[in-house]
Amino acid sequence: MKISILCILTLATCTIAAQNSQEQRIIGGDVAFAGQIPYIAAIYKRTNEGTFFCGGALMNDQWILTSGHCVYEAVLFTIYLGTTNIQKLDSTGIQLATDTYILHPDFNPDTLENDIGLIKLRIPITFTDYIKPVDNLPSYELLPNTGGLMSMGWGQTSDETAGLEEELNFVYLIPISNEECRLTYGNQIKDSMVCVGGNFNEGFCQGDNGSPLVRYTNGPRTTHMGIASFISANGCDTPEPSGYTRTYHYVDWIRNVTDIL
């Protein structure tokens, strides 16, 4: 059995084995147009150790859902909403600051179990065509037996291309069973996690952590399915699956904290 080590994004320095690849990942994605993904949040987390970048999803007019390691030990957040460009804020975008967050009480920064957190904005925001929340939390377990899943973010587009992308990218992914994912990561994979892959190594990379995995249906309406949590320590340009926190596992906790219906 081949066992790879989880790469805990923004908290640990992983040994990346760069590959000679022509693929472009979020990795393998396309550039989003203005208003296409109105729920995406760009999050700069400041800690006593430095500043780190994450993604997140707007869930209502005051709460953003992201990973636990994206709020862990934070002292301040700077958040962009309504923009696809993080270098030059679009005219449709807004910049906010807050220091209020809720970390899941059972979050483990070493294993990434319960890797989920919520950021509270200081005041409720006004929705626009470019700033809207995710439509739904999952009402029943859909993974891994569903398609139409999209991931997005401003992270690296390859192991050899360091730094964030200026424009938001998105990619469609395929969930796999935890049993299959354990063939790569062993018992590091818990029931509260879900792994995804693509046809040509698509997935997320450094800087995409915290970003949502969503399902589009009926209209389209969006259901929040997962939170980008980890990649393989072998890097982004490998065929090894990416890992997400499984949203359905935490619906009751999210609702208890936020009053989201």
How do residues 123-154 score in pLDDT, each as one tens digit?
Answer: 999 999 999 999 999 998 888 888 779 999 99
Domain ranges (residues) in the chain: 6-32+134-248, 40-133+251-258
Domain 6-32+134-248 and domain 40-133+251-258 have a common topology: yes
Per the CB < 8 A criterion, the answer to whether 67 and 209 are in contact is: yes
Residue 207 has pLDDT above 50, yes or no: yes
Confidence tier at 201 by pLDDT (50, 70, 90): low
Confidence tier at 10 by pLDDT (50, 70, 90): very low
Q: Which residue has the higher pLDDT, 172 or 115?
A: 115
Rounded to an integer, the average pLDDT of 223-251 is 89
CATH class for the domain made up of 40-133+251-258: mainly beta
Predicted confidence at residue 136, as pLDDT, reads 95
Q: Which helix (H) or strand (E) holds 152?
A: strand 149-153
Superfamily of the domain at 6-32+134-248: Trypsin-like serine proteases (2.40.10.10)
Residue 46 has pLDDT above 70, yes or no: yes
Q: Point out the least confidently predicted range of 1-15, 36-50, 73-87.
A: 1-15
Residue 196 has pLDDT above 60, yes or no: yes
Rounded to an integer, the average pLDDT of 230-240 is 77
Predicted confidence at residue 131, as pLDDT, reads 98
Rounded to an integer, the average pLDDT of 7-12 is 45
Q: Say what the alpha-carbon torsion angle 227, 81, 97, 230 is, to the nearest 10 degrees.
A: 20
Predicted confidence at residue 19, as pLDDT, reads 27
Separation of alpha carbons 258 and 76, rounded Å: 20
- pTM attached to this predicted model: 0.88
Rounded to an integer, the average pLDDT of 67-81 is 98
Confidence tier at 4 by pLDDT (50, 70, 90): low
Per 3-state DSSP, the chain is made up of helix, strand and coil in percentages (nearest 5) of 10, 35, 55
Predicted confidence at residue 34, as pLDDT, reads 93
Mean pLDDT over the full length of the chain: 85
Q: How many C-beta atoms surround the C-beta of residue 54 within 10 A?
A: 32
Rounded to an integer, the average pLDDT of 60-87 is 97
Helix/strand/coil (H/E/C) assignment for every residue in 23-71: CCCCCCCEECCCCCCCCEEEEEEEECCEEEEEEEEECCCCEEEECHHHC
